[in-house]
């Protein structure tokens, strides 16, 4: 069983009462401008086939065969790079995970199966294709930052225990940890993240991990139209830290979990800027998705 908490070494803790990393002056993000169109020549057909988004029923569960396609764009001054990440839910494994969080001293814990998620990563400029996979806790496909933001907004100080929806935050951090543990995906993360300060770099040598911190108190409620359907969205600021120092600040648009969005924890768009280099910016955009059909869905394995 895989444990995600703050008790055993090498695991995660979500403690809402803990101090966040030193954020400094975060300021506001640059104006959002459309990205230049992708050149799809040379892109593998498996990616091209998933362009455009379709949605399943809002209450449906994720199924093997659900697919999502994301574009990751890095703009560093005049230099730019693009990656396409194609995720496909492969099936439930025999392993499990336990996600834990602590809020004002009260613990909330839940165990769930681990799913295998097949990942294909294609860098457009290099025509380079990598195949990899992630172990995805089932809870990550049920609760996300949208749910955590709603729970934070509706918090009941007299409730006997934390709102279960707050596990959506630890789900997001668990997913982020999964990226760091995957060599191909971590290579992208290290490429897009701006270098830390000297102090942060020294701390990073002792603890080589990134820290993702969602700022739920600054979440904004929005609504977008996806595949002809009106969908509620939470826009949430985040910071990414190395060695306790913020290196990038982001905002993410997150929708409720429903197929196939649940495979990507409802993330529709994420954009960020370096804390030290204003012309170093990254954008993650959902550009395609397919819901599993009877022909694509396979029995759990």
Give me the domain span that covers residue 286. Answer: 2-14+44-290
Mean pLDDT of the chain: 84
pLDDT of residue 207: 60
User: Pick the residue with more confidence: 278 or 86?
Assistant: 86
Of residues 203, 78, 101, 95, the one with CA closest to residue 152: 101
Integer angstrom CA distances of residue 215 from 15, 178, 180, 197, 251: 13, 21, 21, 22, 9
Residue 128 in this model has a pLDDT that exceeds 90:
no
The model's pTM is 0.86
Residue 300, domain member (yes or no):
no
Please say whether the dihedral angle defined by the alpha carbons of residues 194, 199, 201 and 205, taken in this order, is positive or negative.
Answer: negative
3-state secondary structure (DSSP) of residue 293: coil
Residue 94, domain member (yes or no):
yes
Residue 37, domain member (yes or no):
no
Q: How confident is the model at residue 14 (pLDDT cuts 50, 70, 90)?
A: very low
Question: Would you list the DSSP string of 143-194?
Answer: --HHHHHHHHHT--TT-SS--GGGHHHHHHHHHHHHHHHSHHHHHHHHHHSP
Residue 278, domain member (yes or no):
yes
Q: Which stretch of 53-57, 72-76, 79-83, 124-128 has the lowest confidence by average pLDDT?
A: 124-128
> 12: Cβ–Cβ under 8 A, 6 or more apart, which residues?
4, 5, 6, 170, 173, 174, 177
Residue 146, domain member (yes or no):
yes
User: Pick the residue with more confidence: 103 or 296?
Assistant: 103
Residue 301, domain member (yes or no):
no
Average pLDDT over residues 175-199: 80
User: Pick the residue with more confidence: 253 or 103?
Assistant: 253
Q: Which stretch of 50-54, 118-122, 176-180 has the lowest confidence by average pLDDT?
A: 176-180
Residue 295, domain member (yes or no):
no
Residue 23, domain member (yes or no):
no
Tokens 């969602």, located at residue: 214
Q: What is the number of domains present in the chain? A: 1
Tally of CB atoms within 10 A around 106? 13
């Amino acid at each position: 069983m895989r444990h995600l908490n703050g008790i055993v070494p090498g695991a995660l803790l979500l403690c809402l009462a803990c101090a966040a990393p030193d954020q400094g002056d975060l300021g506001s993000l640059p104006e959002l401008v459309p990205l230049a169109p992708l050149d799809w020549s040379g892109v593998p057909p498996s990616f091209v086939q998933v362009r455009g988004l379709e949605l399943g029923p809002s209450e449906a569960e994720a199924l093997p065969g659900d697919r999502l396609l994301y574009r990751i764009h890095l703009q560093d001054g005049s230099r730019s790079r693009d990656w396409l990440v194609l995720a496909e839910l492969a099936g439930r494994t025999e392993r499990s995970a336990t996600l834990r969080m602590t809020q004002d001293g009260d613990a909330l814990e839940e165990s769930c199966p681990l799913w295998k998620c097949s990942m294909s990563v294609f860098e457009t400029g290099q025509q380079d294709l990598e195949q990899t996979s992630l172990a995805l806790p089932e809870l990550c496909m049920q609760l996300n930052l949208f749910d955590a933001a709603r729970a934070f907004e509706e918090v009941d100080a007299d409730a006997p225990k934390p709102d279960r929806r707050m596990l959506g935050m630890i789900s997001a951090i668990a997913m982020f940890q999964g990226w760091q543990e995957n060599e191909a995906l971590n290579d992208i993360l290290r490429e897009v993240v701006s270098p830390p300060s000297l102090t942060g770099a020294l701390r990073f040598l002792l603890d080589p991990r990134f820290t993702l911190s969602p700022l739920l108190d600054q979440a904004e409620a929005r609504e977008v139209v996806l595949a002809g359907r009106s969908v509620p969205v939470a826009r949430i600021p985040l910071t990414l830290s190395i060695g306790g120092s913020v290196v990038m600040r982001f905002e993410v648009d997150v929708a409720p979990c429903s197929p196939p969005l649940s495979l990507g924890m409802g993330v529709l768009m994420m954009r960020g800027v370096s804390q030290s280099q204003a012309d170093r910016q990254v954008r993650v955009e959902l550009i395609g998705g397919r819901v599993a059909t009877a022909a694509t869905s396979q029995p759990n394995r």
